Structure 1
Amino acid sequence: MDELDLIRERAETVGFAPAEHLAPARERLLAAARGERRHRPRRWFWIAGASIGLAAAITAVVALGPADQVGVGPGVAHADPVKVLTAAASTALKEPAKPPRPDQFLYVKTEYAIPPHREVWFSVDGTRDGLIGTTKIGGCRDGKAPMYGTNDPRAEGKLEDCRPSPAYRTDLPTTADAMLAYLNKKVGDRDGKATYIGKDVYGLASEQALQPASYAALFEAAAKVPGLTALDHVTDGAGRPGVGITFPNPPGSLSTAKPMVMVFDATTYQFLGTTDSAVTVKTYVDQVGQRP
């Protein structure tokens, strides 16, 4: 392995930090190198130390220098929200298109920076009883669904009118413009439209199953939402590093209100979650309550 290979290897495992931190870190690194040279006179020991020093230097440069200055890494420093979401759409379009069976369940595990975590089992076709944690969700059969979790023993299991809510969505648009129109219609004309669109984008990406073309359209539509910003170096709720897309808070929000930040892998642009949550498992299972 030569120096360039070592740089690439370190770049894949170490995140980038703001450029203003580079100068102090460089001074610390040089000071440490000078001290190492003074206290290690034997040549064989200096050679061993040089290898360690090279790795440290690479780590310092990769960790502290912006990608466009260092010349390594995926180049997400100064990330642009449109480019990130467009790349996320391209990644989503490459996902396998094999549909689940109607009798299966979509299982999603979402981890949070502060537990408890969340597990859901949603009926693929919406006709079978599912679970959110330990709470039952009534499946809609013949226009009727049983009521669960009502805190009223008299209402528990009582049938109510319903329409099926399938976890596997084949009814969603497959183009960016059509998807944006769908999202706009869903949130209506309320103030802070971008905020609510962001929540719907997150909900569809996290706990629904879409066809690859619809996933791609979802992220392309999100790229058309005004007011988005990108954050170069964030982590999701499980601590996985990535690049963040911030959806603005509604007008009149408190100054302390935190906006929603969706997180994408900085290399593959795969959707990971938010800065507070992380979708760590998303797959199909054959029975409610089953884990992969």
Structure 2
Amino acid sequence: MDDLDLIRDRAGTVGFAPPERLAPARERLLAAARGERPQRSRRWFWAAGASIGLAAAITAVVALAPAEQVGLGVGVANADPVRVLTEAASAALQVPAKAPRPDQFLYVKTEYPGHHTREIWLSVDGTRDGLLGKDTKFPGCRDGKAAMYGTNDPKKEGSLEDCTPSPAYRTDLPTTADAMLAYLNTHHSGEKGDTNAMGKDVLVLADEQALPPETYAALFQAAAKVPGLEALDHVTDGAGRPGVGITWTNPADPPGFKGIVLVFDAKTHQFLGTEDSAVTVKTFVDEAGQRP
């Protein structure tokens, strides 16, 4: 391993301080190196011991900067998954709470690797026809009836069937961690104890649904109570944005199995998406097909 390898290895572990912090830290470091040392010792420091000295210098400069300025937070080594989710809950509570009108639509733009995108418009109260992409309709449920679209059967196309509204803006969900955990356990999509399925259920609510801030907070707080939590450092979402990943491990999973990974911004703790998807726009609009 040469000097550059040592630098890369150490920098990848602890990160770099911002430029404004590096200058005074570097001066202090060099001043210390120029202290009352015999000439031979200085030569050893810069020559025979250059590899060790450079790596130590990097560590010293980084250590002189406050952790929040060098990125030594939840997005680097040994992130605590409970802390990540707890801070995500706190961040959710800071979002201004403005309920949409019932006649509006939730617009969500999701990006995937390879520059693929998905756009969807979902009825806030579930009674109006939504839209996926340019021409795929989602039927709204009005008076207990919804039109049938995309049946490939001209006789059935547009005919009515029984339904229950599925609002995109959920005001019916718990607002405390314990109640939300009980809800997730009751409505989970997998078998009992399937933590990966629980992760998917959390994703469904955090992804293409809109929740009041206190419900978002309860969702992440409840997720923090699920057994088998694991934090993954230095991950990226589907759009390449860096963050910290949260996944759930299950003892019954086969070797090498990788479950769903939720990605949060390492500094703001905002939910970004997954390793395979990225929610880049999420807002309310007045019509299906309208972009903000």
Report the TM-score when normalising by structure 1: 0.75
Query: Conserved in 2, the CA contact under 8 Å of 1:121 and 1:288?
Result: yes
1:190-242 deviations in Å (ceiling 9; x for gaps): 15421111111111111100000000000000000001100121110000000
Structure 1, unaligned stretches of length 5 or more? 10-29, 35-56
Counterpart position of 2:263 = 263
SS at match of 1:107: strand
Q: Distance in 1 between matches of 2:168 and 2:241?
A: 26
User: Once the 2 structures are TM-superposed, how far is the Cα of residue 258 of structure 1 from its aligned partner?
Assistant: 2.9
Query: Conserved in 2, the CA contact under 8 Å of 1:191 and 1:251?
Result: no
**Structure 1 runs, 4 residues or longer, greater than 4 Å off:** 67-71
Q: Distance in 2 between matches of 1:132 and 1:182?
A: 28
Q: Distance in 2 between matches of 1:198 and 1:234?
A: 17
Q: Distance in 2 between matches of 1:148 and 1:207?
A: 21
Counterpart position of 1:75 = 73
Q: Distance in 2 between matches of 1:263 and 1:84?
A: 10
Distance 1:80 1:146, change over 3 A: same
Counterpart position of 1:238 = 239
Counterpart position of 1:158 = 159
Please list, as runs of the form range in 1=range in 2, the aligned pairs for 1:213-292 lying within 5 A after superposition.
213-248=214-249, 251-253=252-254, 255=255, 257-292=257-292
Distance 1:237 1:117, change over 3 A: same
Q: Structure 1 vs Structure 2: percent identity of aligned residues?
A: 69
Q: Distance in 1 between matches of 2:252 and 2:157?
A: 40
Q: Distance in 1 between matches of 2:246 and 2:142?
A: 39
**Bigger Rg over Cα:** 2
Counterpart residue identity of residue 220, structure 2: F
Distance 1:143 1:280, change over 3 A: same
User: Once the 2 structures are TM-superposed, how far is the Cα of residue 268 of structure 1 from its aligned partner?
Assistant: 0.6
1:20-77 deviations in Å (ceiling 9; x for gaps): xxxxxxxxxx99xx9xxxxxxxxxxxxxxxxxxxxxx97xx87xx9x99998224223
Counterpart residue identity of residue 227, structure 2: P
Counterpart position of 2:185 = 184
Please list, as runs of the form range in 1=range in 2, the aligned pairs for 1:59-98 lying within 5 A after superposition.
72-76=70-74, 77-98=77-98
Q: Distance in 2 between matches of 1:71 and 1:286?
A: 41
Query: Conserved in 1, the CA contact under 8 Å of 2:194 and 2:250?
Result: no
Counterpart position of 2:109 = 109
SS at match of 2:131: strand
Distance 1:287 1:188, change over 3 A: closer
Q: Distance in 2 between matches of 1:162 and 1:183?
A: 23
Counterpart position of 1:144 = 145
Counterpart position of 2:171 = 170
User: Once the 2 structures are TM-superposed, how far is the Cα of residue 114 of structure 1 from its aligned partner?
Assistant: 3.4
What is the aligned-residue RMSD (CA, Å)? 3.1
Query: Conserved in 2, the CA contact under 8 Å of 1:249 and 1:259?
Result: no
Distance 1:278 1:7, change over 3 A: farther
User: Once the 2 structures are TM-superposed, how far is the Cα of residue 277 of structure 1 from its aligned partner?
Assistant: 0.5
Q: Distance in 2 between matches of 1:186 and 1:4?
A: 45
Query: Conserved in 1, the CA contact under 8 Å of 2:17 and 2:70?
Result: no
Counterpart residue identity of residue 209, structure 1: A
Query: Conserved in 1, the CA contact under 8 Å of 2:89 and 2:221?
Result: yes
Query: Conserved in 2, the CA contact under 8 Å of 1:229 and 1:246?
Result: yes
Counterpart position of 2:125 = 125
Report the TM-score when normalising by structure 2: 0.75
